[in-house]
Structure formats: structure tokens, C-alpha cells
Structure 1
Amino acid sequence: MTTETRPPAAPPRVDTSRRTRAPLHLGWWLAAAVIGLTLLNIGSVVVRSPNLDWSVVWEYFLSTDVLAGLARTVELTAIAMACGIVGGVILAVMRLSPVPVVSWAAKSYVWFFRGTPLLVHILFWYNLAALVPAIAVEIPFGPTLFEVDTNDLITPLLAAVIALGLNEAAYMAEVVRGGLLSVDPGQTEAAKALGMTHRQTLRRVVVPQALRVVIPPTGNQVISMLKASALVSVTSTPELLYSVQVIYNNNFKTIPLLVVASAWYLIVTSVLYVVQHHLERRFSRGTGRG
């Protein structure tokens, strides 16, 4: 007599097309009510306040001076971020160097710029002439080949770019280093086993995988740089905030002009959010997140 073995019954299929939603706790409804009332009160103050003249906001929202300041802000952000990204890549590679002196130099740079305020760097480069009146290139124990007055060379715009770029390089170095370290070393070993050169391994294996980790924080750094560029207004650089300050120093409409500046910052950051979102989706293809 033979016994017939039956395969185990398949588990019942669970219909995942319908998602059950847990009932909300009373505390969430109370929190929503408090948030709603707070937003209504803020909106009432903004709309009904006699000190916020919306006609002034619409008058200067598209004014020539404000748009010129906005263009300078975008220009500062783009140049400083380009310098920061290039410097960050170099510093990240230096930190991963097996040579202790090179690695220590990169660590010291990151430590210094991350530990000191950005505003201090802006003021330092703006007042560099007090430390170095003239910048010269000369042959040791020989004649001077080139000399220029520091105030003529380091303009307020250049001082702002140098300060922002050097400071951003310290933060981007950590972002890039984290991205490079996130790639499994086995990927590099497999690429070498396939006969790829070091450059091909970086270009085809390491960098594409590191970008998935690098892009999100880099997008955040771009947005932070856009807002940090307002600090250069202390050096009379005609960016967005300084342009608005010049206007309300003449007509004494401080709050409406600050609303104009805030609105433009929100618009540009919203555009950057959208660009960052699309870049993240593009480089996360083929992964679980994609």
C-alpha cells in the first residue's frame, strides 16, 4: 500500500490592492484643529494688517532693481556651488588618500570651515586689504613680476564668491566622501576582474552608484546656498536682499519689501525642489527606490 504525499497547500492570496486605513486617534484631530486655527490666525494677520501694504508688494515684485538682485543671487549661487562641488570632490579624494599628510590636510580644511561661521569668512575676504594691502607675484630673492592693489582685485562680488565657495567645499567634501564610501568594494574588485582600468571603474561603476547617494544632499546644499547668499548683503553686494534693503531705506516700506524678497526666495527654492526631485528619480532607476 503506497501513501501519496500531497504538496503543501499554497497560502491564501492576500489582496493588496485595497489598503486598510487605521482609525485616527483623537489626538491627531486635536492637533489638526490647533494647526488649522493657527494658520487661520496667521492668515488673518497677514491679510488684514494695516502695516502690510499689498499694493507695495505688487508694485515692487517685478521691479527692475528687485529682478536685478534676483539675477545676482542666482549667479552667486551657481558660481559658488560650482566652486564648492569641484573643491569638495578634490577634498573627498584627498581624505580617502592613503598618504597621511594629504588626508590630514583635507581633514583640517573641513574642520576649519565647518567650525567657523560663514559670515566671518565673508567679512574676512571683504576686508582682506587690511591684512594684505597688495598681492604680488615675485621671484624669490628677485624682482617682482606682478603686483596689484588688494582692493582693486578683491571686489565685493569676488569676496562673496570666494567665501561661499570655500565654505561650501568643506560640506560637499563630506557629501562626496559619503557617496564614494557607500559603493560596495566588491563592485570595484569585480570591475578590475573584468579588466577595467581605474578610470573606467570610476566612470562606469563607482560614480553612477555614488551619485544616487550624493544627489539628494547636494540638492539640499544648493537650496541652502541660495539662502546663505543673503549674508553677502553686509558687503553691499547688490543681491536680492540688498536690493530690497536699498528700496525700503528710501520709502520706509520695510515689511512689504521683505515679503517681496521672501516670495522670490520661495519661488526659486520651489523650482530647485522640482529639479532635485527629477534628478533623484532619474538616478534611482533600477533600484528599489526607483
Structure 2
Amino acid sequence: MSALTHHLPQLVDGLLSTCLLMLLSLVGALAIGVLVAAARVSPVASLRAAGTAYVELFQNVPLLVWLLLFVFALPEVGVIFPLFSTAVITLALYEASYMAEAVRSGINSVGRGQAEAARSIGLTTTQALRYVVVPQALRAVVQPVGNVTIALTMNTSLAAAVGVVELTHAANEVNLAEAQPIPVFVGAGLAYMAVTLTIGLATGYIERKVAIVR
């Protein structure tokens, strides 16, 4: 326990960095995921193909590989971002593929008549998705989006492999200094658990508040 108490500020900084990394990536993943989901249900074949290609590409390549590519390969072709920003972009792009599938399931749960009614009053397909279908779809997929957010929180730990100073990276540095892996990594694991439990409780609360009564 002395390792934890002695290095508590360092571990707290790592936890805050993890939370910031998760929140920024979540915003990006949700924004991209909605666009990809809309493309996947679009009547335009080329958009559907592009959306499907995006999902298949990111879901079938491990996140660690994407992190290594973005951090080490992109600078080789002149594309350079700060390390933390690179991790945010990579996580957002990767998790957006899962977010898109969650949102698409919500879109498919909205009655076909809703979109038809929207078009009958003069809305275009894009406007029908934006104002009628997607808002209802998002209300229907609060729990799946919460599950993706929990997975995203866990995946932030992989950013430590490319040098991002977050909770796992901080815990590893403390362990190297103190050589007490059990209390250090158990403490880090409990911190991750606290974050994910909070997300789960918040998701349940939001789901009850925005539930669509059919």
C-alpha cells in the first residue's frame, strides 16, 4: 500500500488522463459512428459500400496495430500530431466502427413508416435521418452505446504501449520504481472498475430517462 500512497498524485494524474482520453475519443467515435451508420442505411449504394468497408476495416485490424501505425508510420509520410491527439484520433476512428453498428441497430428499430411519413411532408432522405430517424435511434441504443464506451475505457490502456501517459503507463512507472506489482496493478484495476461502473450506472439512468414507450 505504501507504493500507492507514495505515488498517489502520479496515479491520479494518470487516471485523469485516462478519463480525458476516453471522453474525447467518445465524442469523436459517436460523431463518426452516426455518419457511418447513416451511410450504411443510405439508399445510395456507394455510401453503403463505403460504410461497410469502414466497419470491416477497423473491426478486423487490432487496435494496437492501428495505434502503432498512427504513431510510428504516419510521421514517416509527413503526418505528425501530438502523441495524445494521435491516441484520441486512433481510438475515435476504431471505436466508431462499433458505435456505427450500435447506431445502425437503433435505426433499424425505428419503424419504416417514420421515414416514409417524414418524406411525405417534404423532407429529404438526409433530413429524415437527421430530424426523425437518428434522434429516435439514439434513444433506443443508450445501453449498446454505453457498452461501447466501457470497451473504449478499457482500450485506452493500450495507449500506454505507444507512450501515452495514462493510468496503465503511470502504474507501470510506479511498479518500476517500487517493485510492488500486486498493490500497484490491483489499485489501477480498481480505478478502471470504478470508472466503468460509473459509466454503467449513468447509462442505466439515461436509458430510463429517454426510453421510448411503444
TM-score by length of structure 2 reads 0.90
Output the CA distance in 1 between the equivalents of 2:129 and 2:44: 20
Per the TM alignment, residue 106 of structure 1 is displaced from its structure 2 partner at its CA by 1.4
| Unpaired runs of at least 5, structure 1 | 1-54, 136-152
1:265 is aligned, of 181, 192, 196, to 192
Aligned to 2:174: 247
User: Counterparts in 2 of 1:175-254, with a 5 A limit?
Assistant: 175-193=102-120, 195=121, 197-198=123-124, 201-202=128-129, 205-254=132-181
Aligned to 1:115: 60
| Alignment deviations for residues 251-287 of structure 1 (CA, whole Å, 9 cap, x no partner) | 1111110011011111111111111011110111534
Per the TM alignment, residue 213 of structure 1 is displaced from its structure 2 partner at its CA by 2.4
Aligned partner letter, 1:239:
E
CA contact (8 A) 2:139 2:210 kept: yes
CA contact (8 A) 2:140 2:211 kept: no
Aligned to 1:95: 40
Indicate how the Cα distance of structure 1 residues 200 and 86 shifts in structure 2: closer, same or farther if over 3 A, else same. Answer: closer
User: Counterparts in 2 of 1:137-176, with a 5 A limit?
Assistant: 153-176=80-103
2:16 is aligned, of 59, 71, 80, to 71
Aligned partner letter, 1:258:
F
Aligned to 2:183: 256
Indicate how the Cα distance of structure 1 residues 187 and 285 shifts in structure 2: closer, same or farther if over 3 A, else same. Answer: closer
| Alignment deviations for residues 98-136 of structure 1 (CA, whole Å, 9 cap, x no partner) | 22222211111111111110010011111025641x24x
TM-score by length of structure 1 reads 0.68
CA contact (8 A) 1:57 1:260 kept: no
Q: RCO greater where, 1 or 2, for CA within 8 Å and sep 6 or more?
A: 2
Output the CA distance in 1 between the equivalents of 2:146 and 2:9: 29
Indicate how the Cα distance of structure 1 residues 205 and 227 shifts in structure 2: closer, same or farther if over 3 A, else same. Answer: same
Identify, as 1 or 2, the structure richer in helix: 2
CA contact (8 A) 1:57 1:259 kept: no
CA contact (8 A) 2:38 2:129 kept: no
CA contact (8 A) 2:33 2:99 kept: yes
CA contact (8 A) 1:89 1:173 kept: yes
| Unpaired runs of at least 5, structure 2 | none
Aligned partner letter, 2:48:
S
Aligned to 1:277: 204
Per the TM alignment, residue 166 of structure 1 is displaced from its structure 2 partner at its CA by 0.8
Output the CA distance in 2 between the equivalents of 1:95 and 1:191: 19
Identity of aligned residues (%): 33
CA contact (8 A) 1:233 1:242 kept: yes
Larger CA Rg, structure 1 vs 2: 1
Per the TM alignment, residue 176 of structure 1 is displaced from its structure 2 partner at its CA by 1.2
CA contact (8 A) 2:37 2:100 kept: yes
| SS of 1:126 mapped into structure 2 | helix
CA contact (8 A) 2:3 2:178 kept: no
Output the CA distance in 1 between the equivalents of 2:53 and 2:132: 30
